[in-house]
Amino acid sequence: MKINIYYGGRGFMDDPTLYVINKMQAVLEELHVSVERFNLYELKNSITTLPQTLKTADGVILATTVEWYGIGGFMQQFLDACWLYGDKEKIAKIYMCPIVMSTTYGEREGKLNLSVAWEILGGLPCSGICGYITDGTMLENNEEYMRIIEKKTENMYRSINQKVPCLPTSNQAVKQMVSITKNIDLTPQESEQLSQYVSDDVYVQRQKEDIQELTSLFRDMMSNNEPEDGVEFIADFKNNFHPKAGFKAIYKINIDNRKKPLYIEVNNGECNCHYGENGVNGTVTSPDVEMQISYEKLTEIVSARMTFQRAFMSGDMKSKGNFMTLRTLDQLFEFGNGII
């Protein structure tokens, strides 16, 4: 018979849980049981691989300490790994004894959480141990407490040795319902291999870099399929330009999903249009009016189904700068002869 002990505390010398599992290990070894302990705080970078260690176990002891609230992160990580990568068929034959000692409050809830979690995984529960211990010497110097621990350990040994059956629980029904949507159709061997990859920090970092590189590559490929920014709308503005004597202004139009803004420079009877970051003809200029508009709304404007003023008033276009200059846009560019 083999029993694995998974300790989810932080390894402090005065941790009462350590005293309990040390005593249980000694009793089990007297009964000629092979015992292997896994301190999760020492194996925090490889917790996802630990479900593999359940393959040779007939029973497990899940031991943790409630220091302020709950069973702690290390134990939760181990249970998560069992759910994601553990062999559920093997877990269904493994008995589990929960050990939860508290230095504050919540030992009963912690013990119940471990039992429920193991049942949802499909495993078999044993009667566990929980207690509120503020000083570890309370256990060492109390013979009655020692007898309770020995008795619980013997009961666990007897349950595993005799393969005591357990009545079905609703928690197991929950497992069957939930696992339908979570199943990723992997064999236990494939799940173990995946868990090894997950725990390999170098491998995970390399995968993240590969994903970023692929994302950048596909983004560039998609951008190459977008309409060309260099000419779109320029002919519409030039062909519908109606000069206004003595008027000079620079407009900057930011079009959604377009990399470069459209600059329109009006200087008396001339109208120059240009896409780019540095303004018209490559010179650094500050626009009199800067606008933000969607491609669809700008298409409606150049198609004479909308005006700049109406787009601004309805909130379809945002603008900052000289608003008198903004209002002049509809006079400078009369798309469709100004008929809406």
Span 152-192, pLDDT tens digits? 999 999 999 999 988 877 766 665 665 544 445 556 556 65
Listed in sequence order, the residues at least 6 apart from 225 whose beta carbon sits closer than 8 Å to its beta carbon are none
* H or E stretch covering 55: none
pLDDT of residue 58: 95
Q: Structure tokens of 153?
A: 């350990």
Question: Could you tell me which residues are beta bridge partners of residue 6?
Answer: 38, 62
Residue 257 region by backbone torsions, left for phi larger than 0, else alpha for psi between -120 and 50, else beta: left
Span 282-329, pLDDT tens digits? 556 688 999 999 999 999 999 999 999 999 988 899 999 888 888 899
pLDDT of residue 94: 96
* H or E stretch covering 330: helix 329-332
Q: Structure tokens of 129?
A: 């141990």
Comparing 223 with 249, which gets the higher pLDDT?
Answer: 249
For residue 63, count other CB atoms closer than 10 A to its CB: 27
Burial of 38 (C-beta count, 10 Å sphere; 0-12/13-18/19+): middle
For residue 237, count other CB atoms closer than 10 A to its CB: 21
According to DSSP, the β-strands at 95-102 and 248-255 are unpaired
| Nearest CA among 297, 299, 302, 333 for reference residue 312 | 297
- The pLDDT-based confidence of 207 (bands split at 50, 70, 90) is confident
Q: Structure tokens of 138?
A: 């309370």
Q: Structure tokens of 244?
A: 């206004």
Q: Which ranges of 49-187 would DSSP assign to H, the alpha helix? A: 73-85, 88-91, 107-121, 137-140, 143-162, 170-182
Specify the DSSP class assigned to residue 334. -
Please report the domains of the chain, with CATH numbers, ordered by start residue.
2-199 (3.40.50.360), 234-338 (3.30.1050.10)
Burial of 291 (C-beta count, 10 Å sphere; 0-12/13-18/19+): buried
CA distances from 337 to 157, 251, 332 (A): 94, 21, 11
Over 70: is that where the pLDDT of 108 sits? yes
Q: CA 227, 229, 232 angle in degrees (round to 5)?
A: 80
Which residue's entry shows tokens 């034959």?
A: 93
SS3 call for 168: coil
pLDDT of residue 245: 86
Which residue's entry shows tokens 């999760």?
A: 40
The model carries a pTM of 0.55
Residues of the chain above pLDDT 70, percent: 83
How far apart are the C-alpha atoms of 216 and 203, rounded to whole Å? 20
- The pLDDT-based confidence of 340 (bands split at 50, 70, 90) is very low
